[in-house]
Structure 1
Amino acid sequence: MRVLLVDDHPLILSALQSVIQGIGDDVVVTGVATARAAREALAQKQGDYDLVLLDLALGDANGFDLLADLRQTYPALPVVVISASDRTSDVIRAIDMGAMGFVPKRASNDTLCEALRLVMAGSVYVPPMSMGMDSGLEAAAPGVPGQARASVGGVAAQANYQTQPSLASLGLTPRQTDVLALLLQGKPNKLIARELNLSVETVKDHVAAVLRALGVNSRTQAVLAVSQITQQYGSFSTWRSPTPH
């Protein structure tokens, strides 16, 4: 696995390189300190990278702007944000823009490794204790019932949080499961329809059914909810059986 690490702080860059390379003998980490260097590295060897770790605070660019650029230019390349911030609003914004994970820099080495493992297995990682701890979730998801926010946030604000269902128990059809898998990759309805050979209207119906099953009312909330469930019950790919095309 080849990882591109983007962080403009030399000590953190070096420390993160050591931690990530310790995941396995086949892990190779390339560290760069600027958005420009990241773009150049990807342009030169875009097919060589399996994952990008991106700091939001870069000296030459806004990390969110670079995230948007990477998701637009390399839609198949997963990006994990690693940041000194763990504000709910930043987590939701990053996931909404297509990041496959968000790891606070205060997290342990084990947490970082687990987050990367989940992402490479096709799941999404968000910090479970940051969600729902400030007003950002309420602002980002107006009108969402409190129980749904607790489920999405992973914080036991209600006593029945522990009864959160596993993905396998949601009752999704195989086709809805396929749609959810592509939705988690940040793909819009048109691309999902093209990949699954469905009409856009049929995809919309499947997306609506998935959101109902998860108890949420937006794609971002669905991604966050699935992240919390997979952290409890295992990665999405461990129970998903691809539908034959």
Structure 2
Amino acid sequence: MSEPTLLVADDHPLFRTAVLHVLRERLPQFRTLEAASAATLGTALQEHPEVELVLLDLSMPGARGFSALLHVRGEYPELPVVIISSNDHPRVIRRAQQFGAVGFIPKSAPAEAMGAAIEAVLAGDSWFPPMAAERSEADAELAARLAQLTPQQFRVLLYLADGLLNKQIAAEMGLAENTVKVHVTAVLRKLACHSRTQAAVLVKGLETEDAASA
């Protein structure tokens, strides 16, 4: 039987090491894995179904704001995700909650608070700092629209937002160009977008207000 596992997805090696230290001190019964990009996160989740919690940074290579969170939630709806970010603006925290995270830990949090938050989430609770930001109906609507997409359609959407042509998306995903065309049509229909540009603007809405500091 595979050991229960925690996955830390963050592109900063020093911070990753600090989180892993907290996990090994507080939760020695769990094995730990690391990922430094959206791509390696996806691979790790495919190869390790025993992962019980993902600790996810918002600004990794290959991710656009909340896109990695939405992708994990879409592909593994039972897997809890906790955001760990240096951007702890109240609206960022509120959006993380609305897009399906079960917790949000500011990177400035002391090790003791970080450990307590992770233990609370593993026990089935959620953990968020106090928030002043109001729930956003626009974010709720965006999350609902994106939830209609299959995981593969969501990947197609992100490639669309990067300006890739169908032929390029097909090469990236290992699909036939006709298959990509079908996916693009479905994505635009489900999102009620009339053009690829509209879809790209919608994806831009996933970015944090200050993506560089997230």
Q: Residue 19 of structure 1 corresponds to which residue in structure 2?
A: 22
Aligned equivalents of 1:138 and 1:30: distance in 2? 35
Residues 94 and 134 of structure 2 are in contact (CA less than 8 Å); yes or no, is this contact kept in structure 1? no
Which structure would you say has the larger RCO, counting Cα contacts within 8 Å and 6 or more residues apart? 2
Aligned equivalents of 1:63 and 1:3: distance in 2? 22
Paired residue type of 1:86? D
How much has 1:141 moved relative to structure 2?
A: 6.9
- Helix, strand or coil for the counterpart of 2:39? helix
Number of residue pairs matched by the alignment: 136
Paired residue type of 1:64? F
Aligned equivalents of 1:101 and 1:138: distance in 2? 17
* RMSD, aligned CA: 1.8
2:6 to 3, 12, 16: 3
Residues 51 and 77 of structure 1 are in contact (CA less than 8 Å); yes or no, is this contact kept in structure 2? yes
1:121 aligns with 2:123: yes
TM-score of the aligned structures, taking structure 1 as reference length: 0.53
Residues 55 and 83 of structure 1 are in contact (CA less than 8 Å); yes or no, is this contact kept in structure 2? yes
Residues 55 and 63 of structure 1 are in contact (CA less than 8 Å); yes or no, is this contact kept in structure 2? no
Q: Residue 197 of structure 2 corresponds to which residue in structure 1?
A: none
Q: 1:138 to 1:63 in 2, by over 3 A?
A: closer
Q: Residue 136 of structure 2 corresponds to which residue in structure 1?
A: 140
String of CA shifts for 1:159-188, please: whole Å, max 9, x gaps.
xxxxxxxxxxxxxxxxxxxxxxxxxxxxx9
Paired residue type of 2:115? C
Q: Residue 68 of structure 2 corresponds to which residue in structure 1?
A: 66
* Aligned pairs (5 A) from 1:1-245: 1-45=4-48, 47-128=49-130, 131-132=131-132, 137-138=133-134, 140=136
How much has 1:139 moved relative to structure 2?
A: 7.0
How much has 1:16 moved relative to structure 2?
A: 1.0
TM-score of the aligned structures, taking structure 2 as reference length: 0.60
Q: Which runs of 4+ in 1 moved over 6 A?
A: none
Aligned equivalents of 1:102 and 1:14: distance in 2? 19
Residues 94 and 135 of structure 2 are in contact (CA less than 8 Å); yes or no, is this contact kept in structure 1? no
Q: 1:138 to 1:59 in 2, by over 3 A?
A: same
Q: 1:108 to 1:141 in 2, by over 3 A?
A: farther
How much has 1:25 moved relative to structure 2?
A: 2.3
Aligned equivalents of 1:22 and 1:32: distance in 2? 20
Which structure 1 segments of 5+ residues have no match? 143-187, 189-245
Q: Residue 144 of structure 2 corresponds to which residue in structure 1?
A: none
Which structure 2 segments of 5+ residues have no match? 139-146, 148-214
